[in-house]
Amino acid sequence: MTRIVELRQGILKKNDELARGLRARYGAAGVLVLNLVSSPGTGKTAFLERTLRDLLAQGSRAAALVGDLETDNDARRLAASGAPVRQINTHGICHLDAEMIDRHLTGWESVELGALDYLFIENVGNLVCPSSYDLGEAIRVALLSVTEGEDKPLKYPTLFNSADAAVITKIDIAEPCGFDRDLALKNINEIRPGIRIFETSSKTGAGMEEWLAYLAEALVKKAS
């Protein structure tokens, strides 16, 4: 005799439940959490380095969790900004999940969530898998560099469609790369209509003022 057993449940239910718990925890602590996602080589670490340095200089309190398959190179780079930074090594796993975040927040002695304004999570460089895993973040940021091709949002619609903000990096080298700005903006808007887009250079600081203002606004909005 055959029979059909209905389950109707999310495959990533465990992750989603953990992420809900994290979101409640961030909310209670009043910290704005951002999840930065891009391909390898987009300049996430350089952008975060610059963001942390600029935030600390204006008196904000920020920390970062950084995910990579191996090495703590990025954590060491970011720590030079003066912000507390903790490395997460996934040992082959291509994305961060809520359990990894939970585990690394627990027992992070130098960081008290309640004493932070911003917590940045730099995801593993990958434009596919991280989009399935909710980390409890308030804002998901998709990054794209001028060297990657303007059609990246069309090639990876699942990530760009789930993002709350988009950051174009390395605009200081846009011209020699033959970067078609209008086309890139159009493609991002085609996948995620109306999304906030920041055009930045971590090297020259271009666009950082606007980005920091966005962060400050989002923090106020979260608190109210």
Partner 1 sequence: MHELSIVSSVVDTVTDSLAAYPGARVLEVRLRVGALASVVVDSLEFCWGIATEDTPLQGSRLVVIAVPVVMHCAVCAADVELESVQSFRCPRCGQPCSDLRQGRELDIDSFEIDDETEPESSKSEKTGAKA
Applying CB under 8 A, which of residues 39, 89, 147, 161 lies at the interface with partner 1? 161
Intra-chain end-to-end CA distance of the chain, in Å: 58
91 binds partner 1 (CB under 8 A): no
Nearer to partner 1, 94 or 177 (CB): 94
Q: Taking CB under 8 A as the rule, does residue 3 contact partner 1?
A: yes
Confirm or reject binding of residue 131 to partner 1 (CB under 8 A).
Answer: yes
Q: Do 181 and 188 form a contact (C-beta atoms < 8 A)?
A: no
40 binds partner 1 (CB under 8 A): no
Number of other CB atoms surrounding residue 224 within 10 Å:
5
Q: Would strands 32-37 and 118-122 be described as parallel, antiparallel, or unpaired?
A: parallel
User: How many residues form the binding site for partner 1 (CB under 8 A)?
Assistant: 33
Residue type at position 31:
V
Q: Does 140 bind partner 1 (CB under 8 A)?
A: no
**Interaction of residue 96 with partner 1, rule CB under 8 A:** no
**Residue reference for tokens 């970011």:** 78
CB of 94 to partner 1, least distance (A): 6
Residue 140 C-beta: closest distance to partner 1, Å: 13
Asked if residues 179 and 185 have their Cβ atoms less than 8 Å apart, the reply is no
Q: Is 160 left (phi over 0), alpha (psi -120 to 50) or beta?
A: alpha
DSSP state of 166: E
The set of residues, in sequence order, having a beta carbon less than 8 Å from that of 5 and lying 6+ positions away, is none
Q: E strands, 84-181, where?
A: 85-89, 118-122, 139-145, 165-169
- Type of residue at 88: I
**Does 112 participate in binding partner 1 (rule CB under 8 A)?**
no
Q: Does 132 bind partner 1 (CB under 8 A)?
A: yes
Shortest gap between Cβ of 44 and partner 1 (angstroms)?
Answer: 19
Which of 29, 56, 69, 93 lies at the binding interface for partner 1 (CB under 8 A)?
93
Q: How far apart are CA 170 and CA 79, in angstroms?
A: 22
Q: How far is the CB of 3 from partner 1 (least distance, A)?
A: 5
Nearer to partner 1, 1 or 110 (CB): 1
The least CB distance from residue 31 to partner 1, in Å, is: 26
The one-letter amino acid code at 166 reads A
53 binds partner 1 (CB under 8 A): no
CB of 165 to partner 1, least distance (A): 13
* Residues near partner 1 (CB under 8 A): 1-12, 14, 93-95, 128-129, 131-132, 154, 157-159, 161-162, 189-195
